[in-house]
Structure 1
């Protein structure tokens, strides 16, 4: 009995000892707090020592002012930020006007075409301005003696970056060209008689265009809607041929009014020396020659900023030409479909049909036959597009063609 009591007491003491040992090693919160306090105190001492020795050196305004005083100290940042701003600006020039034309119901198709045409010209000019100055910067960094082969000359007055002024940029914006140069050819004086003749032509031909459209074009288009609605092919062809003559005459007058009278008027007013706005496109024996010579400002822009850069990157000639036609088709559709508030795949494909047509004419037709093919495509192709656009516009917006 005594042995059992002794054994029970020993077991009880052992259990209490084990419990006491377990409770003493299971909680380390005090040691962790001690480590945190010691770490804070040691770093506080170092921080206070740094403040006493050097003072407060943190000054965000000083960093910003240093960048503003010498922006060329961070050229990579400047170039990246500038590229982002240029891309945003160029994208806005195409998206914002088109969104306004599509959403604002009071904008008429004619007003929409004029607005989008203005913004498209500004888009092409600013892209050329950015691209040309980029070439100048690259050549300047390479310490080349000449700027570029395209616009360097013996009598160069301005060199990069001396051209980066508001006066130079705004002159380019209003100049009758789409390709930027550091030194444009300038005429010595403004010829007042030449300026008055061009102004008279502009006013007279504008009134003539409006009169011909109202008196001759509009009735022909209205009379063509019923055959299109009834799908009467014989009458459709008859109306198409009837519309071809006034449409082509109006196009020729518009061409002279814009490319000869208007652009020469602006060029004379700004003493702009390069007056090659078109070449002898009427003698075109191929479709490619016509597209390259009837609108020289656009052709030069496509050649300089789109076609040749693609060739330098290794793209073959045919794909580069197709890409130029694709871009041209996009902008034609952009300038017409957005103001009419409708998008037609046939119009885009009609522009792209110029590629196989150009290949066919250049391969199988030569001389006068090729020239006749070009004239036929101009005289017949345009009224087809006009009638289909007008027909679809009235069907979409008014529900019928009457």
Structure 2
């Protein structure tokens, strides 16, 4: 049994050094000098690899495993020298380590694009002000007409009644769903107490819980159990996806650090027994090579734990805290730490987040008022624009095929302007207002929620900057994980990530319309050939044409999808 456990521990180290020896987050190049940082927290990890088990391992097993570790360390942990650079030059300051999951940094900025000083000082700011003036006039127009025409009170509108139905039940279910996310914390706590081992059982428990978490709460919110209206179902579905991403990132980030910590402890114990007098541990002729291999493992593991505990951001913003206490692994496994992560407007976990020094209550009040104002406008547009068209679409479903197709195009043309307004308002209410309010109340400094998607000239760029928090999650936990775990190449990993994202979007459509048609899946997958076309000579250098193509998709895409589900 002891032989088998030690063999498994050595195999884990070998496996971890296969492919690219990777740091989980941060820069793509790391210098070895950082491994000298003290306080990596390894002394706080309990004894999980008894030294007595090392003495009884056959020499052949040790020799094979150590040689494998050494070979893969040289090929994967250490960054290869650049073209024209000798190996001695590249390692003059110590070898560079390569990041497995790419460069995901939390920015120090405390403003979004539309709040930034550079935008307010630009010549485009007047158009932004004009847009909100037009929005204000639209709101006043609807209020005046509602008063003069003496129509039904606002709260009695059909759309508002759907919003109000089961409101408190939805809130209660959402609260219970949030509390159930603390399961991810308890798994890590059990790992810290050595009740669970992440590599053996922890990852499987967390992954299984992630799957059944989404399945259970989707069923609870469905019409078959609680019978919530479609708005309540969609809200719970989207929120469950947010919670799912948070749990997954928290669990597997800490799980990665558990594997690094255990490798470090095992390597430190093993190297201490690699002595000329201990031939049962290492053959004398291979002693130096074995010690160097274990030393490389120790250096990388110490570096990784120290780097993850260091702040991976800098700032010139006086509102951002730079000298706050640094959380080290596994000191981060606390209820308080998980609570704050659950409050932050991000779905990617790390040990230390950029924080602001104070809450700007006037800023919060401004954003909250904007939320209610935009929400009021969205209800009016839904009531006066969408509601009659939806009734028209339902009536047309019983018509003959020829008339149905004719009605389809009429409804589609009428729906496009309303959907465009709702599309823009949805962007503002979520990414500009709600996320900023949450970030301000939680003192979360990184406001990089979106990029200038309105100037995108290809769909690949749009996918990266439309929803930056989710893009970062997909980049780390889907794209890079599929490369490191199931050995996909970069192209296959991109396709896999895109298909998974499309399936999740189709799941939301199923939640709304209670039927699977695949229209959204098909249209979203059609972006792949469009991305390829954008890289051809036909489109290169023609940014205006690319922007036009993207905006045609923004304008027509949502309306086409909605009307397809309504009619067919």
TM-score normalized by the length of structure 2:
0.53
CA contact (8 A) 1:281 1:294 kept: yes
2:299 aligned with 1:147: no
2:206 aligned with 1:86: yes
CA contact (8 A) 1:333 1:347 kept: yes
Pair member with larger Rg: 1
Aligned pair in 2 of structure 1 residues 151, 103: CA closer, same or farther (>3 Å)?
farther
Alignment partners' CA distance in 2, 1:261 and 1:74? 43
CA contact (8 A) 1:102 1:341 kept: no
Alignment of 1:18-37 (within 5 A): none
Alignment partners' CA distance in 2, 1:72 and 1:239? 58
Aligned pair in 2 of structure 1 residues 82, 76: CA closer, same or farther (>3 Å)?
closer
Q: Deviation at 1:353?
A: 1.7
The answer to which of 363-372 and 297-306 deviates more is 363-372
Of 276, 279, 289, which residue of structure 1 is paired with 2:461? Answer: 289
The answer to which of 74-83 and 251-260 deviates more is 74-83
2:451 aligned with 1:273: no
Aligned pair in 2 of structure 1 residues 191, 74: CA closer, same or farther (>3 Å)?
closer
Alignment match, 1:373: 549
Aligned pair in 2 of structure 1 residues 124, 173: CA closer, same or farther (>3 Å)?
same
Aligned pair in 2 of structure 1 residues 107, 267: CA closer, same or farther (>3 Å)?
same
Alignment match, 1:384: 560
Superposition RMSD in Å: 2.4
2:345 aligned with 1:176: yes
Deviations 1:362-397 (A, max 9, x none): 3232311011101101111110111122234xxxxx
SS of 2:328 mapped into structure 1: coil
Alignment match, 1:192: 361
Aligned pair in 2 of structure 1 residues 292, 114: CA closer, same or farther (>3 Å)?
same
Of 317, 328, 342, which residue of structure 2 is paired with 1:159? Answer: 328
Alignment partners' CA distance in 2, 1:340 and 1:235? 20
SS of 2:367 mapped into structure 1: helix
SS of 2:535 mapped into structure 1: helix
CA contact (8 A) 2:439 2:445 kept: yes
How many residue pairs were aligned?
A: 323
CA contact (8 A) 1:279 1:296 kept: yes
Q: Deviation at 1:157?
A: 0.5
Aligned pair in 2 of structure 1 residues 202, 131: CA closer, same or farther (>3 Å)?
same
Alignment of 1:229-240 (within 5 A): 229-230=399-400, 231-232=402-403, 233-240=405-412
Q: Deviation at 1:149?
A: 6.3
Aligned pair in 2 of structure 1 residues 275, 303: CA closer, same or farther (>3 Å)?
same
Alignment match, 2:436: 264
Alignment match, 1:40: none
Alignment partners' CA distance in 2, 1:226 and 1:112? 24
Alignment of 1:3-402 (within 5 A): 77=197, 79-100=199-220, 101=222, 103-104=224-225, 106-140=227-261, 141-142=263-264, 143-147=301-305, 152-153=310-311, 157-225=326-394, 229-230=399-400, 231-232=402-403, 233-312=405-484, 314-363=487-536, 364-365=538-539, 366-392=542-568
Deviations 1:228-262 (A, max 9, x none): 64444455334322211110111100110000100
Q: Deviation at 1:145?
A: 2.4
Alignment partners' CA distance in 2, 1:241 and 1:150? 52
Alignment partners' CA distance in 2, 1:78 and 1:320? 25
Aligned pair in 2 of structure 1 residues 259, 150: CA closer, same or farther (>3 Å)?
farther
Alignment partners' CA distance in 2, 1:83 and 1:312? 15
CA contact (8 A) 1:72 1:78 kept: no
More helix by share: 1
Alignment partners' CA distance in 1, 2:191 and 2:503? 38
Aligned pair in 2 of structure 1 residues 245, 138: CA closer, same or farther (>3 Å)?
same
